[in-house]
A and B are shown apart, each in its own frame.
Chain A
Amino acid sequence: MTTRLQLSDMKRFSAAGKAFAFLIPSSSVIGLDDLSAALLDGFKDGPRNPATVVDALAERFSRDDLVEGLSELHQTGAVTTPEHAATIPVYKQTEAAPLSTLVLNVTNKCNLSCKYCYEYGEDKLTAPATSAATRFMDEATAFESVDFLLQRGAHLPRLTLTFFGGETLLNFKVVSATVEYARRRAREAGKTIDFSLTTNATLLTEEIVGFLTGNHVGVTISIDGPKDLQDRFRTYSNGEGSYDRILPRIKALLKNHRTRPVGARVTLTSQVMDVVRIFDHLTEEIGFYEVGFAPVTTSANTLYSIQNAGFDSMLDQFTNLSRRYLDRALKGEYMGFSNMTDQLQEIHTGVTKSYACGAGLGLLGVSPTGDIALCHRFVDSPDHKLGNIRTGLDEEKRHDFNRRTHLSNKAECHTCWVRGMCSGGCYHEAQVRYGDIGHANLHYCDWIRGWIDVCLHTYAEIAEKTPSFFDRFDERQGVGVPA
């Protein structure tokens, strides 16, 4: 019996006039020469006796080279024996996964009433708060959360504490006290804690900016762009827009907060979709270092929900920006387009995920009352509660969530070429769309695949022409700023 070889799951593509293959099981990107490309072609109709493939090519290439090329393809996993053909990773219960990031929802109250907000709008998962006391986290709960993070992250040298809301700065008193407490406790434990916070900028003051700078707090501002766009959804409860109020505050922050880059996070809806214009406004006119976009999370039937045509237009505009990114990268310059940088970083690292994100693994959310949630977006959702900071994490429930969100349970994803990076997508989005955290986010597959494809081409082109561009990625830490 002769052993046959076959192609592994891969996506072949060309960029900068060269041939490449993205090997799906390992997420490695390899460049192909003519010989290796011809060898791969030889297997395209299914498992083959390798000798036949070599024989067929023996006129074009020397046999020694062919054997050598085949060996390389085999060792990198591009061709494989049928019994070694990659399968989908199986779910294995992870014992206590170390906690690296804890997101404290210091309040679930907000001074804006953005019409699309998942916390308050039609899509809320949360139980109505019963009293004011349950809407703001108190110091004791925040401090206990810090202890919880230090204890569950004991193995890790670097931890992240993120403040989130509602509007985070409505509870600035607790934020500042917690940062101070966490610094002291981290020092005692010989660890570093990074702090970050997301805010709508309406409450920024000189004092707060001073505090953020002094403590190296990474700041992300939720903002939708120029005045007409910002004021469409991001309004006060009386309907008044927030742009005029936040602009001077953001400018002051950008001018003075020099210790960490300040990023902007834009929510895209069917009506706010002007990606390029928003990007230019936020970077050039306002001066943000990084801008990231995320489509709104909502059920399919709301007015602002993005439908298929919307995803297409989003992809066109992202592609537009990606060309600019490429031009700048080829000159060795950086452009603060977070969606692109994050995706390039994943491709560069060769990420293969069986879970879409760290929710319930390295990341947990804490509600104002100290309830533990899968992530910050599930805070206060009774169905997704995982215990309480005081009584501990409900491990059994966590395992159940992990099992349900594992890639092995998302049959639709098993043949998808981006599964190692998307892995079915955000669980909160899935909950809102399909009522099930373990459901693949099939409504945006085309968009995700389209976008990762653009990024893969861009990646290969930069790697071919200016490989040194990625040196900075080797140092860059994944800054997990919650969306």
Chain B
Amino acid sequence: MRHLKAVNRKARRIEQLMTANGDVYALAQGPAGGGQTTPHYPMGCSLVFSPGWEVDSAGGTAGLCQPVERDLYDCYITCFWPAQVPDHLNNYPDWTKKCGAAAKDWRNIDLVFP
């Protein structure tokens, strides 16, 4: 965590769990310290105002916070799912530049013509 510090043992356990479950933002920043990143399998929604994940915590799509069609933005910024969305690592780093908060600004996401 960058903004919070886990102080007691319980908080450290929660932090470990977060990492074990795949810290989506850490993943977006690439492998830390040159080590291997753990595979990223999102289970359930993490950030509630992001469009939903691929699957909910039960492995289906019924419990997602948003319809599955709207996971475009999250697939781009937090997961690496390049086939479906413009990839921000190499080709379209500015794709969502004008979209500060997905829930509000998603209309500003640029069109991409590959």
Cβ of B7 and Cβ of A474 under 8 Å apart? Answer: no
Cβ of B11 and Cβ of A76 under 8 Å apart? Answer: yes
Cβ of B47 and Cβ of A26 under 8 Å apart? Answer: no
User: Which segment of A47-55, A128-136, A396-404 sits at the interface?
Assistant: A47-55
User: If the complex has contacts A68-B25, A76-B11, are A30 and B49 also in contact, measured as CB distance less than 8 A?
Assistant: no
- Set A2, A28, A35, A63: member contacting B11, Cβ < 8 A: A28
Cβ of A51 and Cβ of B4 under 8 Å apart? Answer: no
Q: Which residues of A contact B48 (CB under 8 A)?
A: 3, 5, 50, 74, 81
- Set B47, B101, B105: member contacting A74, Cβ < 8 A: B47
Task: Give Cα A26 to B12, complex, Å.
Answer: 12
Interface string of B31-47 (1 = CB under 8 A from A): 00000000000000011
Report whether over half of chain B's contact residues are helix, strand or loop; otherwise say mixed.
Answer: mixed
B6 within 8 A of A: yes
Which of A20, A31, A81, A474 has the most CB atoms of chain B within a 10 A radius of its CB? Answer: A31
A32 within 8 A of B: yes
B107 within 8 A of A: no
Cβ of B104 and Cβ of A71 under 8 Å apart? Answer: no
Min C-beta distance of B87 to chain A, whole Å:
18
- Set A58, A65, A73, A474: member contacting B9, Cβ < 8 A: A474
Cβ of A349 and Cβ of B9 under 8 Å apart? Answer: yes
Smallest CB gap from A80: residue in B: B48
Which of A51, A65, A77 has the most CB atoms of chain B within a 10 A radius of its CB? Answer: A51
- Set A75, A78, A350, A460: member contacting B18, Cβ < 8 A: A75
Q: Which residues of B contact A36 (CB under 8 A)?
A: 3-4
User: If the complex has contacts A67-B47, A71-B46, A350-B11, are A76 and B103 also in contact, measured as CB distance less than 8 A?
Assistant: no
Task: Give Cα A68 to B3, complex, Å.
Answer: 8
A250 within 8 A of B: no
Cβ of A459 and Cβ of B24 under 8 Å apart? Answer: no
Task: Give Cα A389 to B32, complex, Å.
Answer: 58
Interface string of A57-88 (1 = CB under 8 A from B): 01000010101111111111110010000000
- Set A69, A70, A347: member contacting B8, Cβ < 8 A: A347
Interface string of B94-105 (1 = CB under 8 A from A): 000000111111
User: If the complex has contacts A54-B100, A68-B25, A71-B47, are A29 and B8 also in contact, measured as CB distance less than 8 A?
Assistant: yes
Contacting B at CB under 8 A, from A124-151, are none
Cβ of A63 and Cβ of B100 under 8 Å apart? Answer: yes
User: If the complex has contacts A76-B15, A348-B9, A463-B7, are A68 and B2 also in contact, measured as CB distance less than 8 A?
Assistant: yes
A240 within 8 A of B: no
User: If the complex has contacts A3-B65, A70-B47, are A76 and B4 also in contact, measured as CB distance less than 8 A?
Assistant: yes
Contacting B at CB under 8 A, from A230-256, are none
Interface size bucket, B side?
A: 20 to 34
Cβ of B9 and Cβ of A30 under 8 Å apart? Answer: no
Q: Which residues of B contact A72 (CB under 8 A)?
A: 1-4
Smallest CB gap from A78: residue in B: B4
Smallest CB gap from B11: residue in A: A28
Q: Which residues of A contact B62 (CB under 8 A)?
A: none
Task: Give Cα A30 to B2, complex, Å.
Answer: 12
Task: Give Cα A72 to B9, complex, Å.
Answer: 17
Task: Give Cα A474 to B13, complex, Å.
Answer: 13
Q: Which residues of A contact B11 (CB under 8 A)?
A: 23, 26, 28-30, 76, 350
Min C-beta distance of A429 to chain B, whole Å:
27
Q: Which residues of A contact B102 (CB under 8 A)?
A: 51
Min C-beta distance of A473 to chain B, whole Å:
8
Smallest CB gap from B101: residue in A: A51
A33 within 8 A of B: yes
Cβ of B10 and Cβ of A350 under 8 Å apart? Answer: yes
Task: Give Cα A55 to B3, complex, Å.
Answer: 18
Q: Which residues of B contact A348 (CB under 8 A)?
A: 8-9
Cβ of B3 and Cβ of A65 under 8 Å apart? Answer: yes
Cβ of A54 and Cβ of B101 under 8 Å apart? Answer: yes
Smallest CB gap from B26: residue in A: A68
Cβ of A55 and Cβ of B100 under 8 Å apart? Answer: yes
Interface string of A12-40 (1 = CB under 8 A from B): 00000000100100111111110110000
Q: Which residues of B contact A69 (CB under 8 A)?
A: 2-4
Q: What are 24 A-to-B residue pairs whose CB atoms are below 8 Å?
A: A2-B103, A5-B49, A20-B7, A27-B8, A28-B14, A29-B8, A30-B4, A31-B7, A32-B5, A36-B4, A50-B48, A50-B103, A55-B101, A63-B101, A69-B2, A69-B3, A72-B4, A74-B48, A75-B14, A76-B1, A76-B11, A348-B9, A349-B8, A350-B8
Q: Which 7 A-B pairs have the closest CB atoms?
A: A350-B10, A31-B5, A51-B101, A28-B11, A69-B3, A29-B7, A29-B8
- Chain A residues within 8 Å of B, Cβ to Cβ: 2-3, 5, 20, 23, 26-33, 35-36, 49-51, 54-55, 58, 63, 65, 67-78, 81, 347-350, 459-460, 463, 474
- Chain B residues within 8 Å of A, Cβ to Cβ: 1-11, 13-15, 18, 23-25, 46-49, 65, 100-105
